[in-house]
Amino acid sequence: MKYRKMGKLNISSSAFGLGCMRFNGAASGDSIIDEQKAISLIRKAIDGGVTYIDTAYVYLDKTSEIVLGKALRDGYREKVTIATKMPIHAVHDRASMEALLEEELKKLQTDHIDFYLMHGINRDGWEKFKAIGAPEFFDEMKKAGKIRYKCFSFHGPYEDFEYILKASDWDMVQIQYNFMDINNQAGTKGLELAGKMGIPVVIMEGLLGGRLANAPDNVQALYDAFPVRRSAVEWAFRWLCNHPEVSVVLSGCNEEQQIEDNLRIFDTVDSGIMPPEEIQLMDHVREAYLSRTKIGCTGCRYCMPCPNNVNIPGVFSIWNNASLYNQNPKHDWSFRNMVRDGNGADNCVGCGACEAACPQHLDIIESLKTAWQEINSFAE
Ligand SMILES: NC(=O)c1ccc[n+]([C@@H]2O[C@H](COP(=O)([O-])OP(=O)(O)OC[C@H]3O[C@@H](n4cnc5c(N)ncnc54)[C@H](OP(=O)(O)O)[C@@H]3O)[C@@H](O)[C@H]2O)c1
């Protein structure tokens, strides 16, 4: 296992951090954890050198922290740092923040949390946390020794990221990043900004939740043609760790074999080890994925709101992702939510208000029809 310095913090961490969000089929909506299996996976990772474990209050129907607490008995707690999170929807004032933190400490069976994060914020979430005094509460809890580091995890546009990053004295930040997301969310620009500010960066969705683990044929052909043979997973993690700003790469693992594989991979990776031809390979891989794009919707939302409640960029994103990553869109939670909320393309009446507003001049009405047909041709 390679260990990396965490930015301005005077500590190091294993490059591979275990994520506790996906045990036992949770990715496909099944939230029942096989507790013994999860505990054995967590301990296997720690025995293999992992020192960073990530969970959150809400993961797996609020059971992830409980299982992690059990896994960290018998001397395992002392071998790791724990990251967990406060969700904005569960708190509204100081008393509720205090109660939530106490509940998490109890579930985790520990007297302190190492990395405490405001969970999954964008600018709106940050404003809400500020309004209830969360930054001051985190500082106070640091002094009290109940948390060690004040952090946030982020999902939003780059502008929000820069704003939040500069708005407080953060100890760490967790972002979604992988070779496909260089211009999405915080992106490479956000990663480099955090690096310049000395703020350690922890990566989530390094495999896009597993989507980058199974390369479609045109991508696999590029990997196969490269003189050094590595799996798609290894290329994705290697690319991430090549960035010096990255401190920890989280990955959720459901199987022993995945833990073993990742332990092996994170023994070989380091910052700056990729020669130009490897970086070029990953650029070609990205292009090969993007060549599978169904429609050039940029998600600007100029077409919204649709008078008939169609989530136009949402439908196109599901359509594109299904094609890019060779996945069944019916297994995508955003498709299930769309059907549940009645925002599907079946509501389109062809009024054309969207087409008049689209800066890309997309043929939205016809594309919505095709997208919905193709999405619905997949099996449940
Ligand atoms: N704060 C937030 O807002 C937020 C959001 C997302 C994630 N997170 C955290 O970040 C952690 C990591 O994110 P993630 O789980 O999305 O990471 P990820 O690495 O992108 O995806 C994990 C999935 O990749 C597949 N995988 C992992 N190792 C593999 C291997 N060696 N070979 C083949 N497949 C492999 C597995 O998919 P299969 O299960 O399909 O086999 C696994 O479930 C989460 O566990 C969570 O703790 C936080």
Cα(371) to centroid(ligand 1), Å: 27
CB 304 within 8 A of CB 316: no
Cα(368) to centroid(ligand 1), Å: 30
Ligand 1, atom 21: closest residue by C-alpha? 209
Residue 124 neighbours by CB distance under 10 Å: 11
Q: Determine the Cα–Cα distance for residues 165 and 30; give it in Å rounded to an integer.
A: 35
Looking at residue 28, what is its pLDDT? 46
State the pTM of this model. Answer: 0.91
Ligand 1, atom 10: closest residue by C-alpha? 204
Instruction: Sort 21 into a burial class: Cβ within 10 Å, 0-12 / 13-18 / 19+.
Output: middle
Helices 256-265 + 35-47 axis angle, to 10:
20
Which of 124, 125, 150 is CA-nearest to residue 136? 150
Residues having CB within 6 Å of any atom of ligand 1: 19-22, 27, 54, 119-120, 153, 155, 174, 204-210, 213, 233, 250-254, 258, 261-262
Q: Determine the Cα–Cα distance for residues 87 and 175; give it in Å rounded to an integer.
A: 16
Looking at residue 338, what is its pLDDT? 94
In order along its 380 residues, the chain shows pLDDT tens digits of 999 999 999 899 999 999 998 887 544 445 567 888 899 999 999 999 999 999 999 998 899 999 999 999 999 999 999 999 999 999 999 999 999 999 999 999 999 999 999 999 999 999 999 999 999 999 999 999 999 999 999 999 999 999 999 999 999 999 999 999 999 899 999 999 999 999 999 999 999 988 899 999 999 999 999 999 999 999 999 999 999 999 999 999 889 999 999 999 999 999 999 999 999 999 999 999 999 989 988 888 889 999 999 999 999 999 999 998 888 999 888 899 999 999 999 999 999 999 999 888 999 999 999 999 999 999 88
Helix, strand, coil percent content, the chain, rounded in steps of 5? 50, 15, 40
- Pairing of β 201-204 and β 246-252: parallel
Ligand 1, atom 5: closest residue by C-alpha? 204
Ligand 1, atom 28: closest residue by C-alpha? 258
Cα(19) to centroid(ligand 1), Å: 7
The SS3 of residue 366 is helix
Ligand 1, atom 26: closest residue by C-alpha? 210
Looking at residue 380, what is its pLDDT? 82
**Residue 122 falls in which region: left (phi positive, over 0), alpha (psi -120 to 50) or beta:** beta
Which of 27, 78, 81 is CA-nearest to residue 54? 81
Which of 116, 114, 80 is CA-nearest to residue 98? 116
Best residue among 86, 204, 257 to mutate for probing ligand 1, ranked by most atoms within 8 Å of CB: 204
Looking at residue 233, what is its pLDDT? 97
Ligand 1, atom 24: closest residue by C-alpha? 210
Ligand 1, atom 25: closest residue by C-alpha? 210
Cα(5) to centroid(ligand 1), Å: 22
Q: Which two tokens stand for residue 137?
A: 């509460």
Q: Nearest-5° angle of CA 208, CA 213, CA 216? A: 105
Best residue among 16, 18, 21, 59 to mutate for probing ligand 1, ranked by most atoms within 8 Å of CB: 21
Q: Determine the Cα–Cα distance for residues 360 and 214; give it in Å rounded to an integer.
A: 31
Best residue among 160, 253, 267, 268 to mutate for probing ligand 1, ranked by most atoms within 8 Å of CB: 253
Looking at residue 210, what is its pLDDT? 87
Q: Determine the Cα–Cα distance for residues 113 and 110; give it in Å rounded to an integer.
A: 7
- Catalytic residue (one of 3, 52, 57, 59): 59
Q: Which atom of ligand 1 is nearest to the CA of 210?
A: 24
Structural domains of the chain, ranges and CATH numbers in brackets = 3-284 (3.20.20.100), 312-376 (no CATH)
Cα(353) to centroid(ligand 1), Å: 39
Cα(251) to centroid(ligand 1), Å: 4
Q: Determine the Cα–Cα distance for residues 100 and 94; give it in Å rounded to an integer.
A: 10
For 13, residues 6+ apart whose C-beta sits below 8 A from its C-beta are 3, 4, 6, 51, 52, 81, 247, 248
Q: Determine the Cα–Cα distance for residues 335 and 316; give it in Å rounded to an integer.
A: 11
Cα(130) to centroid(ligand 1), Å: 29
Compute the radius of gyration of the chain from its Cα atoms: 21
Question: Which of the 8 DSSP states describes residue 326?
Answer: T
User: Is 177 known to be catalytic?
Assistant: no
Q: Determine the Cα–Cα distance for residues 64 and 215; give it in Å rounded to an integer.
A: 29
